[in-house]
């Protein structure tokens, strides 16, 4: 079997593939709560015991920088080592590949179909133009995707950890609030699930002073970021509405920042678990307004295609595509 995995701070998704008529076919798929395990090795061991299949190769997308087949996960207390994974799978270490999570997701873009995408801006895509991908979920990931003469190749980065640059008085106030809390403030302190909670806390403490008891109860029993998004889109709580409005605006601004840095004339892609859930809010205009508000380069940015990826299996497709590239006789996954 060929094993692919999307390793996130919340959950780890694993798919086992078999080669059938030179194509990958899934034979096993499961999701594991990441924080219930002490390592990826433990999950892989469980998968091997469940599937009873002999491994050929494996590829995993991991949130964190990868160096020499090792990665210290950003949002998990895991040190992931390809050699340790290879031991569990009983294959050679060079048959186990670790990719930065955004690198893995970027390799999956070519497998996305029309139904997997929501087009914010059709734009004017340039053939072989550079692309970029920005994904907010448990954390914030960014990647630039370049044409190398034969195919698109993603460049891994940790761009989500760059310094947050406020544009308005309210964002300056937010920055000062977060400086008092964290010291240094990156975009990831705002543009992710925990970041949405940071923005809510800022408004709750500076403007609204008091969170209703019923809302505190929901925060206690549910995922606070999901509750905030839900109440904001249903217009049931003013603090939540302000929170999501600012979140979406900053999301658009940073997506535009990455588009400028990459000169992404081939397209701008928005991945991660948050965008599909708040798509209704993103459609209202604040996202694209912030994306295109780039001064003298606003006209150029407005020509860039912008698409939200709706398929949450993007990183798994990417890992499968990467394995296909390593094993050239295997066709793209179906």
| Domain positions in the chain | 2-107+313-326, 114-309
Cα separation, 2 vs 190, whole angstroms:
36
Beta carbons of 283 and 162 less than 8 angstroms apart:
no
Give the model confidence (pLDDT) of 72-108 as tens digits: 987 789 999 999 999 999 999 999 999 988 999 999 9
114-309 has the same fold as 2-107+313-326: no
Closest CA to 243 of 294, 290, 206: 206
- Segment (H or E) for 291: helix 286-292
- What pLDDT was estimated at residue 334? 44
Please give the CATH topology (third level) of the domain spanning 2-107+313-326: Nucleotidyltransferase; domain 5 (3.30.420)
Q: Is the dihedral of CA 305, 308, 311, 317 positive or negative?
A: positive
69: left (phi over 0), alpha (psi -120 to 50) or beta: left
Give the model confidence (pLDDT) of 175-234 as tens digits: 999 999 999 999 999 999 999 999 999 999 999 987 889 999 999 999 999 999 999 999
Three-class SS of 219-238: HHHCCHHHHHHHHHHCCCCH
Q: Where do we find the tokens 């019923």?
A: 214
Question: Cα 324 from chain centroid?
Answer: 22
Give the model confidence (pLDDT) of 277-286 as tens digits: 999 999 999 9
Please give the CATH topology (third level) of the domain spanning 114-309: Hexokinase; domain 1 (3.40.367)
Cα separation, 295 vs 301, whole angstroms:
10
pTM of the shown model:
0.89
């Amino acid at each position: 079997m060929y094993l692919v995995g999307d390793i996130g701070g919340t959950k780890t998704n694993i798919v086992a593939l078999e080669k059938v008529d030179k194509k990958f076919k899934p034979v096993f798929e499961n999701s594991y709560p990441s924080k219930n395990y002490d390592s990826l090795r433990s999950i892989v061991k469980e998968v091997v015991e469940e599937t009873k299949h002999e491994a050929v190769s494996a590829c995993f997308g991991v949130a964190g920088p990868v160096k020499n087949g090792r990665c210290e996960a950003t949002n998990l207390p895991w040190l992931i080592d390809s050699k340790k994974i290879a031991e569990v799978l009983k294959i050679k270490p060079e048959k186990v590949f670790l990719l930065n999570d955004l690198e893995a997701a970027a390799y999956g873009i070519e497998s996305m179909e029309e139904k997997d995408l929501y087009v914010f801006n059709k734009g004017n895509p340039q053939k072989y133009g550079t692309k970029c991908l920005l994904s907010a979920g448990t954390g914030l990931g960014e990647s630039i995707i370049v044409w190398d003469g034969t195919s698109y190749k993603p460049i891994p980065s940790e761009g989500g950890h760059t310094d947050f640059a406020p544009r308005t008085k309210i964002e300056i106030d937010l920055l000062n609030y977060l400086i008092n809390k964290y010291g240094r403030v990156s975009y990831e302190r705002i543009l992710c699930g925990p970041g949405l909670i940071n923005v809510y806390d800022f408004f709750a403490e500076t403007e609204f002073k008091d969170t209703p008891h019923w809302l505190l109860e929901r925060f206690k029993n549910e995922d606070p970021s999901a509750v905030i998004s839900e109440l904001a889109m249903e217009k049931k709580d003013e603090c939540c509405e302000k929170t999501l409005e600012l979140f979406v605006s900053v999301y658009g601004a940073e997506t535009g920042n990455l588009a400028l840095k990459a000169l992404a004339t081939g397209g701008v892609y928005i991945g991660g678990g948050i965008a599909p859930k708040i798509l209704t809010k993103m459609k209202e205009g604040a996202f694209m307004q912030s994306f295109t508000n780039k001064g003298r380069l606003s006209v150029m940015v407005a020509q860039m295609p912008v698409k939200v990826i709706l398929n949450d299996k993007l990183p798994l497709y990417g890992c499968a595509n990467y394995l296909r590239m390593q094993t050239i006789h295997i066709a793209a996954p179906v």
